[in-house]
Structure 1
Amino acid sequence: MLTRVDPCLIEQATRTDAPHAVVIGAGLGGLASAMRLGAKGYRVTVLDRLDSPGGRGSSITRDGHRFDLGPTIVTVPQLFRDLWAACRRDFDDDVDLRALDPFYEIRWPDGSTFTARQDRVAMRAEVARLSPGDLRGYDRFVRDSEARYWFGFEDLGRRSMHRLVDLIKVLPKFAWLRADRSVYAHAARRMRDERLRMALSFHPLFIGGDPFNVTSMYALVSHLEAAFGVHYAIGGVDAIARAMVRVIKGQGGLIRQGAEVDEIAIAKGRATGVKLLGGEAISADIVISNADAGHTYDHLLRNHPRRRWTTARLKRSRWSMSLFVWYFGTRGTRGMWQDADHHTILNGPRYKGLVRDIFRRGVLADDMSLYVHRPSVTDPTVAPEGGDTFYALSPVPHLGHADPVDWAVEAEPYRQKVQKVLEERLLPGLGAHLTASEVFTPETFRDRYLSPYGTGFSIEPRILQSAWFRPHNVSEEVRGLYLVGAGTHPGAGLPGVISSAEVLAQLVPDAVPVGVIR
């Protein structure tokens, strides 16, 4: 049985003597795990199939425009500061994080708007401007949100939920907080104005959840934004990923890009390493998978019998929606479009109907809602002089529905529809200024990230697919195998994947080099 070792002894450990941990995937959850394990004294090797670190948090550059491919905001910077502190480093020395004010603006087709800010007085003024009669209900929603934050995020979200007894213990609290009610239904109980119901319930879409079916626990996001703010890292989330790589290398860890794991090696029911495409075998004392949980169980463990996460069960699971993302650059636009700030949400004419088309019917609707990211108003390094860098994101069905969208046919017509909406509602004259252009469809998510059905956020965070019901951080199928990232507990989004590494560190004992302490 390993006992806890003084950190100084771990720091002095001979790397060749320390236990070896292999991390599959250099997404943010995998990189955070590598940092945590390095701090605990492990020799760490990170294997990733892409040509640069960060996974969905990586970037590409086209014609001088740098595009963040995935997450664009940091909502709980303290999680990163805690991670760096565990490695005896200072996050703010390595990453330039800027607070945004406002957070984002929501726009509806009738011309009305809602501007989200951290300041409570400003938020109440926005509510009063749209619907004065909803102020009391808004105040109640704020209190509801804080209660769910302390229970759902600070308690359940920062510890392992792999034991059934842990779920049983918290069932009364789930019942008291009405976790069975959807986040939209909860907002509707507090607000009468349909616009405010949307503004307070759409957040699960940022982590792949249907607001009309995802548990009301996700109302916690409103408190999370108010308590910690919304931030942007200069250089994008890619800059955070690269800073993480520097920490890992400083710990003596190894990161191999272009190395795709094909299978987890198992002997006597225990993970003993991995096999790469091409046949190379790498041995390990423990294996951590930051690959999608579905890919981990259905492909990397395809030759190992599974009791819980079988192929049939994975097919029965409800998966998050996918994404259509148009990355584009413009020239000569710096200073134009003054009302297009860092983050804008353009709502289509439908909310519930569009969400139903995406999640339940699996059809590509004629109308759309868009999240528009314009980082160049905060970070001039993302675009050439005088230009701007954007992405426009539209939630779309994943590829697992009965009649999946043929994106080879639909990608360009849909991009043109996105451009038309942008020109009509946010960026007039856009076509005359376009330069760089890149499109990601669900097929890109499937092929680039090996995401089942091309989903954007893995398994959907419904109540019966959360906490104990979600793939556990410690595998119940194979000893010595751990899972982190969006598809496991606590879930998707930057706070979720960074927290999954924190949970991992609680489950994995400190490394004890051979001959030091046993």
Structure 2
Amino acid sequence: MNAFRATDDRFAHATPADKRPKAVVIGSGFGGLAAAIRLSCKGYAVSIYEKLDAPGGRAYVHRQDGFTFDAGPTIITAPFLLEELWALCGQRMQDDVDLRLMTPFYRIRFADGTSFDYSGDEEAMSAQIAKFSPADVPGYKRLMAAAERCRVLGFVEMGAVAFDKFKDLLAALPSFMRMNAWRSLHSLVAKHIKHPKLRMVMSFHTLLIGGNPFSVTCAYALIHSLEKNWGVHSAMGGTGSIVTGLAKLLAGRQVPIHYNAAVTRIRVEDGRARGIELENGEYVEADIVVSNADAAWTYRKLIAPEHRRHWTDRKIDNGRYSMGLFVWYFGTNRQYPDVPHHMMLLGDRYKELLTDIFKHKKLADDFSLYLYRPTATDPSMAPEGCDSFYVLSPVPHLDGDTDWPTMAETYRQRIAQALSDSVLPGLQDHVVSSKVSTPQDFQDRLWSFKGAGFGLEPLLLQSAWFRPHNRSEDVAGLYMVGASTHPGAGVPGVLMSAKALETVVPHANSFA
């Protein structure tokens, strides 16, 4: 029996005496869980409907052969955003979640075997940069000053602004100008850093939120500053332990999470969301509906076209979406102590590979990889003497012509060979557990439009006011949280979307 289901059934339905307005949340990813907590604290009777058999959405946990595999987000920055949710419930996050600071944050390994240990320590970073190009040390400091400016202007001042009205965009224009937000992130990095390898080190971060560094706005340099100010953390027990902690908070507030409950329609009457229809035919009435599902999927698949004047089929189809993700989860019967918790393995091509992925939608013969080894910090995520891994390869989303059901195993084998030839010697002889996820799985299992990993790509004209709004432009009483709405992907962005939601959702008393 699902452990979450066992606790949730106690609160399956609000009691007849419950006069609070009803909020239905679609999806139990980080955004949906955070939104449910905040709405319950605002006086709503909240219930969550989740397609999968456990919470987490993209942060689902796979357990197989004694190994624990985090399905998606593994990098935790700005932990104060999580602490806020516990504080709203009168509790301390530290009592439920054990976060550990990573040192270094990442190891970036280049195709020639050289490496760079990326951290938040300015002295250590200067030493790492000097290994490649001492002349770039002053440029690094200038870049970090620009990143701090972007953090203040883009994250602190705008992250929780819902950009609900055009005047919100007008008010933000001076900040966009101060950030030179029309420039790409890579062009900002190149302005300050000259060595080609260091340009890769300082620009790859936007791939973690679905954006090509040669295209996305340089406002996302703020990621550097977020990491420097608050560090990169990992949770003992994996990211799933954070999801478990949030679900526990909701159980304490008598907020049910209904699993295996796929939402197939948001019912709209007189231009207002009135509730949701489930795959099993059940109708759930609500005063407001909050979708933590992919925004493009929500509009394209859950809302009839006659109710969408802004997010039309054509507008949705013509958006520029983030790349897809190929993820191989695997366990080994030996350990690889030289591999850190987070490692980036960059191939020979950088811009050219990203052009193949984002522009040509072509599955290239080469790849760059993110290798995650949580057992470097927490041995409990694998049987004794073993290691738990996942390796992620950015790939085209489903607008490309890759036939993933026939290609997945071939691609996995190529990645396995590359890892065996570099940082995991003899890998093929030691894999004892294996599971693969492709963009096709993102579409079929997570209902991610085009199988994109992060919704719309965070380009300037697909950010802030131009991104799907936290309060729907088309349907009254419908709201959005998660990676595909404002402010965007990444755990901090998703948690901030729930804060932005709070600024536009009516107070529960307004329904009296």
What TM-score bracket applies, with the shorter chain setting the length? over 0.9
Aligned to 1:488: 485
Aligned to 2:123: 121
Whether the aligned pair in 2 keeps the contact of 1:52 and 1:58 (CA below 8 Å) is yes
The aligned amino acid for 1:82 is: E
The aligned amino acid for 1:111 is: G
Query: Does 2:220 correspond to 1:218?
Result: yes
**Alpha-carbon distance in 1 for matches of 2:360, 2:274:** 42
Query: Does 2:313 correspond to 1:311?
Result: yes
How far is 1:60 from its partner? 0.7
Aligned to 1:412: 409
The aligned amino acid for 2:195 is: D
**Alpha-carbon distance in 2 for matches of 1:287, 1:392:** 35
The aligned amino acid for 1:36 is: R
Residue by residue, what CA displacement relative to the aligned partner does 1:66-88 show, whole Å, maximum 9, x if unpaired? 10000012111000011221222
Aligned to 1:8: none
Query: Does 2:467 correspond to 1:465?
Result: no
How far is 1:230 from its partner? 0.5
Query: Does 2:381 correspond to 1:382?
Result: yes
**Alpha-carbon distance in 2 for matches of 1:316, 1:281:** 32
Q: 1:191 aligns with which of 190, 193, 216?
A: 193
Whether the aligned pair in 1 keeps the contact of 2:210 and 2:453 (CA below 8 Å) is yes
- CA 15–213 in structure 1, closer or farther in 2 if over 3 Å, else same: farther
**Alpha-carbon distance in 2 for matches of 1:302, 1:50:** 24
The aligned amino acid for 1:228 is: W
Aligned to 1:449: 446
Residue by residue, what CA displacement relative to the aligned partner does 1:50-100 show, whole Å, maximum 9, x if unpaired? 001000101111100110000012111000011221222211111111111
Residue aligned with 1:438, SS: strand
Aligned to 2:289: 287
Residue aligned with 2:397, SS: coil
**Alpha-carbon distance in 1 for matches of 2:318, 2:26:** 25
The aligned amino acid for 1:444 is: D
Percent identity (aligned): 48
Aligned to 2:338: 339
**Alpha-carbon distance in 2 for matches of 1:181, 1:116:** 24
Whether the aligned pair in 1 keeps the contact of 2:271 and 2:307 (CA below 8 Å) is no
Aligned to 2:472: 475
**Alpha-carbon distance in 2 for matches of 1:410, 1:14:** 53
How far is 1:339 from its partner? 2.1
- CA 352–15 in structure 1, closer or farther in 2 if over 3 Å, else same: farther
The aligned amino acid for 2:362 is: V
How far is 1:307 from its partner? 1.2
Q: 1:501 aligns with which of 490, 498, 501?
A: 498
- CA 367–262 in structure 1, closer or farther in 2 if over 3 Å, else same: same
**Alpha-carbon distance in 1 for matches of 2:51, 2:26:** 9
Residue by residue, what CA displacement relative to the aligned partner does 1:157-204 show, whole Å, maximum 9, x if unpaired? 122112111111222321232111100011001011011111111111
Aligned to 1:180: 182
**Alpha-carbon distance in 2 for matches of 1:321, 1:379:** 30
How far is 1:380 from its partner? 1.4
**Alpha-carbon distance in 2 for matches of 1:309, 1:267:** 18
Residue by residue, what CA displacement relative to the aligned partner does 1:437-468 show, whole Å, maximum 9, x if unpaired? 00101111111100011111111100000000
Aligned to 2:4: none
Residue aligned with 2:482, SS: coil
**Alpha-carbon distance in 2 for matches of 1:15, 1:497:** 34
Residue by residue, what CA displacement relative to the aligned partner does 1:204-227 show, whole Å, maximum 9, x if unpaired? 100100110000001111111110
Whether the aligned pair in 2 keeps the contact of 1:23 and 1:45 (CA below 8 Å) is yes
How far is 1:14 from its partner? 9.7
**Alpha-carbon distance in 2 for matches of 1:507, 1:353:** 42
Q: 1:238 aligns with which of 237, 240, 246?
A: 240
- 1:72-471 to structure 2, matched below 5 A, reads 72-331=74-333, 333-334=334-335, 337-401=336-400, 404-471=401-468
**Alpha-carbon distance in 1 for matches of 2:256, 2:383:** 34
**Alpha-carbon distance in 2 for matches of 1:513, 1:252:** 22
Residue aligned with 1:381, SS: helix
Residue by residue, what CA displacement relative to the aligned partner does 1:468-517 show, whole Å, maximum 9, x if unpaired? 00000000111111000011000011001111111112222332398xxx
- CA 303–171 in structure 1, closer or farther in 2 if over 3 Å, else same: closer
**Alpha-carbon distance in 1 for matches of 2:278, 2:389:** 36
Whether the aligned pair in 1 keeps the contact of 2:339 and 2:376 (CA below 8 Å) is no
**Alpha-carbon distance in 2 for matches of 1:235, 1:453:** 31
**Alpha-carbon distance in 2 for matches of 1:307, 1:156:** 27
Residue by residue, what CA displacement relative to the aligned partner does 1:371-394 show, whole Å, maximum 9, x if unpaired? 000001111111001100000100
- Moved runs in structure 1, 4+ residues, more than 4 A? none
The aligned amino acid for 2:414 is: K
Residue aligned with 2:73, SS: coil
CA RMSD of aligned residues (A): 1.4
Residue aligned with 1:512, SS: helix
Aligned to 1:32: 34
How far is 1:303 from its partner? 4.8
**Alpha-carbon distance in 2 for matches of 1:68, 1:450:** 19
Residue aligned with 1:156, SS: coil
**Alpha-carbon distance in 1 for matches of 2:247, 2:178:** 42
**Alpha-carbon distance in 2 for matches of 1:423, 1:356:** 27
Residue by residue, what CA displacement relative to the aligned partner does 1:395-430 show, whole Å, maximum 9, x if unpaired? 0000023xx201122111110110111011100011
How far is 1:15 from its partner? 6.8
- CA 233–15 in structure 1, closer or farther in 2 if over 3 Å, else same: farther
**Alpha-carbon distance in 2 for matches of 1:478, 1:66:** 40
Q: Mind listing any 5+ residue stretches in structure 2 that lack a counterpart?
A: 1-14
The aligned amino acid for 1:447 is: D
How far is 1:357 from its partner? 0.4
The aligned amino acid for 2:433 is: A
Aligned to 1:7: none
Residue aligned with 2:35, SS: helix
**Alpha-carbon distance in 2 for matches of 1:33, 1:341:** 33
